[in-house]
Amino acid sequence: MANAMLLPVLISFLIMPFSAMALTQDFCVADLSCSDTPAGYPCKAGVSAGDFYYHGLAAAGNTSNLIKAAVTPAFVGQFPGVNGLGISAARLDIAMGGVVPLHTHPAASELLFVTEGTILAGFISSSSNTVYTKTLYKGDIMVFPQGLLHYQYNGGSSAAVALVAFSGPNPGLQITDYALFANNLPSAVVEKVTFLDDAQVKKLKSVLGGSG
Amino acid sequence: MANAMLLPVLISFLIMPFSAMALTQDFCVADLSCSDTPAGYPCKAGVSAGDFYYHGLAAAGNTSNLIKAAVTPAFVGQFPGVNGLGISAARLDIAMGGVVPLHTHPAASELLFVTEGTILAGFISSSSNTVYTKTLYKGDIMVFPQGLLHYQYNGGSSAAVALVAFSGPNPGLQITDYALFANNLPSAVVEKVTFLDDAQVKKLKSVLGGSG
Amino acid sequence: MANAMLLPVLISFLIMPFSAMALTQDFCVADLSCSDTPAGYPCKAGVSAGDFYYHGLAAAGNTSNLIKAAVTPAFVGQFPGVNGLGISAARLDIAMGGVVPLHTHPAASELLFVTEGTILAGFISSSSNTVYTKTLYKGDIMVFPQGLLHYQYNGGSSAAVALVAFSGPNPGLQITDYALFANNLPSAVVEKVTFLDDAQVKKLKSVLGGSG
Amino acid sequence: MANAMLLPVLISFLIMPFSAMALTQDFCVADLSCSDTPAGYPCKAGVSAGDFYYHGLAAAGNTSNLIKAAVTPAFVGQFPGVNGLGISAARLDIAMGGVVPLHTHPAASELLFVTEGTILAGFISSSSNTVYTKTLYKGDIMVFPQGLLHYQYNGGSSAAVALVAFSGPNPGLQITDYALFANNLPSAVVEKVTFLDDAQVKKLKSVLGGSG
Amino acid sequence: MANAMLLPVLISFLIMPFSAMALTQDFCVADLSCSDTPAGYPCKAGVSAGDFYYHGLAAAGNTSNLIKAAVTPAFVGQFPGVNGLGISAARLDIAMGGVVPLHTHPAASELLFVTEGTILAGFISSSSNTVYTKTLYKGDIMVFPQGLLHYQYNGGSSAAVALVAFSGPNPGLQITDYALFANNLPSAVVEKVTFLDDAQVKKLKSVLGGSG
Amino acid sequence: MANAMLLPVLISFLIMPFSAMALTQDFCVADLSCSDTPAGYPCKAGVSAGDFYYHGLAAAGNTSNLIKAAVTPAFVGQFPGVNGLGISAARLDIAMGGVVPLHTHPAASELLFVTEGTILAGFISSSSNTVYTKTLYKGDIMVFPQGLLHYQYNGGSSAAVALVAFSGPNPGLQITDYALFANNLPSAVVEKVTFLDDAQVKKLKSVLGGSG
């Protein structure tokens, strides 16, 4: 169909609408130097392919710690390209015997994909307190609905690795133990709102660096 | 402007567009006999004023129990008129010494308005575990962001009452103690994911009716 | 489970992920000195508990005026903590014989909770113009769907007070009388678009301070 | 790249993923025989090109009436293909001297495009009651923000026609006069909530077919 | 109802709530000098009626080009008043024999209204690749679901004009030919990901100004 | 705090609110036997842990085909547990020399995580037609904004595997070649809307099973 004689005309025409629509927003890479907004960060100028790429999940996290586990995030703070796109990721490394303690993500659902080893995972529904738990092997996926308490631990005889995707660029992470014991919330208040014994609360406050 | 001779014509004209647009959705009162959907319940037919009204928060909840507190919900399940409207409510009664234990609402932010007495309330941010706490007197309001752990207890010398509004028709309620101890989640798992001592876990499982 | 010898290790591990995720957005208290965006104000830095608390609804509004009523808002402009959280509030004081005139909230549904007295409230559906009206006593709640005309007036023999919650941080308030008569919209235009008589329009323009 | 010998293999491969993903939802044409939901109607089966096409706006509406105007809707009730797509349309015919009376669309913003004649249009902001008004000629567009009172009337010496698009499939239409006068809302209530005189209210109730 | 003696009081009362609620967001006209955000541009100050009005679609686009067609956008970049309102528009001029080539709008559904001439339009569903096509005459409308490939061409014996509305203020426009041939994407990559022959790719790269 | 004598009272109290709130929606596993809605499928009854788990991505897809690649979806149709949760997944297997052809997902952004091998991936922005391309190794992630054309191919010397997550439960997949050549869209129309030569169109229609 394209007649060579008409080519110069075609070029000049088709380029026109693009310059006129230069503000179209295909994406909005976060400018982390600006204040956040309820919908995410303002968009940075001068975007390149590197903004949509992240290498930080390639290396295993350091699991040489008591819980023998590490969470490596690729949220908007680490990976500005996901800003406004409704998705983010993290890497989970769990050594033998390791555990990702009970926690929630206030702002996203989570989808876990096991890439190595065996992970026992569960979540607990609200109101009825039903426990939904599965043993996951390499290649299995499990989804954890937004805001519900869940946990993962290594259920096998070797290290476990998982990729975790979230339904938002900034899912948040609230580890119950840290919310209760790793701050200055007074022990008396913790006990009142949890029914835990005083000795238990003080022990964990000590372990996790809390005061009060 | 209105000329009496033209009135019959006016009536016939203006009625016409309404019949043509009879499917307009001003609201969608829940038909609780249908399956829910991710956006809420299907709309019931035959709506009347009573569907937008609820009397169930008028009476105090019964606080004659260990925690000396009661939560009376007006969520979509009790108050179908809020379906699809992005809002719901509940009444909090907290006797002297009473407490609403640590909990989250996975699907809504909460705004609390004290109508009687004094309430100490707090929430804990994710990641940084900062505690935000206030003593609230009659007429004060406080907002608790979606999905974050929070609690309320009576901080005064008389009964306290509060109206609570939520930013969704079905906010959910996950009480941490119940999620951990009031079901069949094995004690060994609870201990692994919380660092709590075995004796503590078994004591609370016994108290709250859990097994395993 | 926690072995005292391992505690230092536990602390150093668990703190690590938090510093790495410092940009998590649990909330976004409005920085009212910045320009608003379609999703709300940019988030302010240096948040404290006071940002989630508001005392301004504790005192009764002044009802010594013709309509014998007062609306005290706790929208994002007064209560920056609700920014991005999908909720806000207001207090309604209506003296005997008082009225909150016909109005809409363009950007939120409303849930009204009567704390004192008796309120007659109603809303009108679009298209079919059906009126939904209820007499509300202390403790009753009623919901008004987004954008629909509604009104409240004191239907009892004493002052009435209500807490009102909205399904958004900035619900807006468009009082029909003010939209028509309290500005410079020419009388001829008002008459054309409302069918009101010229004398009626001019009378209310005079009352409400409009011109034209 | 395509080698003829490999073609049969290519066909069998590429067809496979499609059958496996047959539930993909590109669109959701409304099944109007089902109950609506807060997000729109359930999707009908057996969709064809005709479902995405509507002829009903091609003919002029009948403006032989007092207001000398007609609104012809292409909302989800008339045009089921827009269900779930965030858009709908209507046609406005306004004869000389005609007017579309003061109204709101509770559930959508409106974009008006004049195709014939001259239209004077305005909307009124909430809270500050500022009037924004323009004279629109053929080819001009104007946008009316969601939920705000607005009006259009023929400002020229010939018939006017406009296409109106809405930011939702079911925008609603609340004509203020009809909400007040075309139903059984008692005159005393109308007067109380609008400050209108009794004679004015009764006159318009009579004109518009209301009672009470 | 309005007693003249009380009028001064009425004015002072009713004005009060407006000043107190001055931050209400009825609209958010884009300040294009600021960085965009995922929800749209920050709101500009000093809004006037002209911000909600756009004249740029009144004149025909120049169709003196190979495709004999022109798209004139009224997106947020040209018409800042639509920012945050979920709607925008464009004008389509298609001379006899003209065509708007295969394209998608990544961020909006489209509703097309033919104002002059005859347009053949079609879209293709994902997964099942079903083609939905219609011949549209003056006054007809057709809707194209978000993100799906579609096209329009003049199917008649005179020029065609259409108004196009979008379900978002910044719909984007990705013309398949331009995405493939009007940039520096290497020919070998284009061939690999499209199965097109090398000669075809190089011919169109030359026509459309691409390199590589 | 918990006194053994009070335990029976505690149990009876705390169970009460749960039965009263039985309709809380933590999740909404798709009932695929029902009609879809714009927000997803109605919720099925009788949910168990298996509903949140999917094994179908564990095995490699069959890449013994011309493009030497396979996409194995875990969308709502295969994995009903993701319904309403804003997330889904797929597995990509690309043999040496294999390619996932140019395509879009109309309803989701995509996050790709390489688990084996080397993948060259790119996407093209709308309007400016800029190409963003990266070579991805094991552990790397890349994000592809919603609705934009993108592709992946094996850039290494061994098989490549990736997990792909989407920002919605039903992202859709529109492969450009299939949309153009694997259906009954007439060759003349394809040529008109793509500028492709007739021979090229007919060749690919033949290869991909299209007619017309």
C102–D180 CB contact, under 8 Å: yes
E166 to chain D, any CB pair closer than 8 A? The answer is yes
Average pLDDT over residues C124-149: 96
User: What pLDDT, on the 0 to 100 scale, is given for residue C20?
Assistant: 41
Quick one: CA torsion of C150, C156, C157, C158, rounded to 10 degrees? -60
Mean of pLDDT over chain E: 90
User: What pLDDT, on the 0 to 100 scale, is given for residue D66?
Assistant: 79
Tell me whether strands C88-94 and F174-175 are parallel, antiparallel or unpaired.
unpaired
Option in C36, C173, C204 nearest E21 (CB): C173
Best of A78, A143, A146, A200 to substitute, by most chain F Cβ atoms within 10 angstroms, is A143
In this structure, what token pair is assigned to residue F55? 């094994």
Percent of chain A with pLDDT over 70: 89
Res. F182: pLDDT tops 50 = yes
Res. B139: pLDDT tops 80 = yes
User: What pLDDT, on the 0 to 100 scale, is given for residue B131?
Assistant: 97
F39–B34 CB contact, under 8 Å: no
Q: Please, which chains are in contact with F (at least 3 CB pairs closer than 8 A)?
A: A, B, D, E
Q: Which residues contact F8 (CB under 8 A, 6 or more apart)?
A: none
Give residue E58's identity as a one-letter amino acid code: A
Q: Which of E94, E48, E52 is nearest to E76 (CA)?
A: E52
Instruction: Please state which of the ranges B99-108, B197-206, D19-28, F52-61 shows the lowest mean pLDDT.
Output: D19-28
**Residues of each annotated binding site of E for Mn(2+):** 103, 105, 110, 150
User: What pLDDT, on the 0 to 100 scale, is given for residue B170?
Assistant: 95
User: What pLDDT, on the 0 to 100 scale, is given for residue D58?
Assistant: 97
Average pLDDT over residues B133-151: 98
Average pLDDT over residues E19-28: 64
F71 to chain E, any CB pair closer than 8 A? The answer is no
User: What pLDDT, on the 0 to 100 scale, is given for residue C133?
Assistant: 98
Average pLDDT over residues E24-45: 93
Q: State the DSSP string of B49-94.
A: GGGGEE-TTSSPP---STT-EEEEEESTTT-GGGTTTT-EEEEEEE
- The strand pairing partners of B154, in sequence order, are B119
Res. B186: pLDDT tops 80 = yes
Number of residues assigned to chain B: 212
F82-125 pLDDT, tens per residue?
A: 999 999 999 999 999 999 999 999 999 999 999 999 999 999 99
Stretches in chain A below the pLDDT threshold 50: 1-23
User: What pLDDT, on the 0 to 100 scale, is given for residue A12?
Assistant: 41
User: What pLDDT, on the 0 to 100 scale, is given for residue C93?
Assistant: 97
User: What pLDDT, on the 0 to 100 scale, is given for residue D67?
Assistant: 87
In this structure, what token pair is assigned to residue E208? 């459309």
Cβ atoms of B69 and F10 within 8 Å: the answer is: no
Helices (H), chain E: 7-20, 176-181, 187-194, 198-208
Q: Please, which chains are in contact with D (at least 3 CB pairs closer than 8 A)?
A: B, C, E, F
D54-102 pLDDT, tens per residue?
A: 999 999 999 998 789 999 999 999 999 999 999 999 999 999 999 999 9
Comma-separated ranges of CATH 2.60.120.10 domains in chain A: 65-171
Chain E residues with CB-CB distance to F184 below 8 A: 131
| Superfamily of domain D65-171, CATH level 4 | Jelly Rolls (2.60.120.10)
Residue C60 vs residue E24, higher pLDDT: C60
In angstroms, the separation between the Cα of residue C46 and the nearest Cα of chain D is 31
User: What pLDDT, on the 0 to 100 scale, is given for residue D24?
Assistant: 57
F11-40 pLDDT, tens per residue?
A: 444 444 333 444 458 999 999 999 999 999
C63-120 pLDDT, tens per residue?
A: 998 889 999 999 999 999 999 999 999 999 999 999 999 999 999 999 999 999 999 9
Best of B31, B62, B66 to substitute, by most chain F Cβ atoms within 10 angstroms, is B66
pTM of the model: 0.93
3-state secondary structure chain A: CCCHHHHHHHHHHHHHHHHHCCCCCCCCCECCCCCCECCECCECCCCCHHHHEECCCCCCCCCCCCCCEEEEEECCCCCHHHCCCCCEEEEEEECCCCEEEEEECCCCCEEEEEEECCEEEEEECCCCCCEEEEEECCCCEEEECCCCCEEEEECCCCCEEEEEEECCCCCCCEEHHHHHHCCCCCHHHHHHHHCCCHHHHHHHHHHHCCCC
User: What pLDDT, on the 0 to 100 scale, is given for residue F19?
Assistant: 37
E46 to chain C, any CB pair closer than 8 A? The answer is no
Option in D109, D133, D197 nearest E87 (CB): D109
Quick one: CA torsion of E57, E59, E60, E62, rounded to 10 degrees? -100
Q: Which of D16, D12, A83 is nearest to F173 (CA)?
A: D16
Which value does ipTM take for this structure? 0.91
Percent of chain F with pLDDT over 90: 84
User: What pLDDT, on the 0 to 100 scale, is given for residue A65?
Assistant: 87
Q: Is A55 annotated as a binding residue?
A: no
Q: Determine D/C contact with 3+ CB pairs under 8 A as the test.
A: yes
User: What pLDDT, on the 0 to 100 scale, is given for residue C212?
Assistant: 87
User: What pLDDT, on the 0 to 100 scale, is given for residue C24?
Assistant: 58
Res. D7: pLDDT tops 70 = no
E193–F106 CB contact, under 8 Å: no
User: What pLDDT, on the 0 to 100 scale, is given for residue D2?
Assistant: 37
Option in A78, A170, A208 nearest C14 (CB): A208
Residue D9 vs residue C59, higher pLDDT: C59
Q: Distance between CA atoms of B201 and B191, rounded to whole angstroms?
A: 7
Average pLDDT over residues C208-212: 91
In angstroms, the separation between the Cα of residue B5 and the nearest Cα of chain D is 10
Cβ atoms of C198 and C204 within 8 Å: the answer is: no
User: What pLDDT, on the 0 to 100 scale, is given for residue A10?
Assistant: 43
D167–E86 CB contact, under 8 Å: yes
Q: Is B110 annotated as a binding residue?
A: yes
Q: Which residues contact B9 (CB under 8 A, 6 or more apart)?
A: D64, D65, D66
Residue B24's pLDDT band, with cuts at 50, 70 and 90, is low
Mean of pLDDT over chain C: 90
User: What pLDDT, on the 0 to 100 scale, is given for residue C112?
Assistant: 98
F202 to chain A, any CB pair closer than 8 A? The answer is no
Alpha-carbon separation of residue C153 from C97, C125, C131, C145 (angstroms):
7, 19, 15, 18
Chain A residues with CB-CB distance to B90 below 8 A: none
Residue in chain F nearest E176 by alpha carbon: F194
Option in D148, D153, D200 nearest C106 (CB): D148
Res. E12: pLDDT tops 60 = no
Average pLDDT over residues C142-171: 97
Distance of CA C14 to the CA centre of its chain: 42
- Residue A184's CB is within 10 A of a number of other CB atoms, namely 11
Q: Which residues contact D198 (CB under 8 A, 6 or more apart)?
A: D187, D191, E1
Q: Which residues contact C56 (CB under 8 A, 6 or more apart)?
A: C72, C74, C78, C79
User: What pLDDT, on the 0 to 100 scale, is given for residue B194?
Assistant: 96
Res. D5: pLDDT tops 60 = no
Option in A101, A126, A194 nearest B101 (CB): A194
Cβ atoms of A45 and F151 within 8 Å: the answer is: no
Best of B3, B6, B24 to substitute, by most chain D Cβ atoms within 10 angstroms, is B24
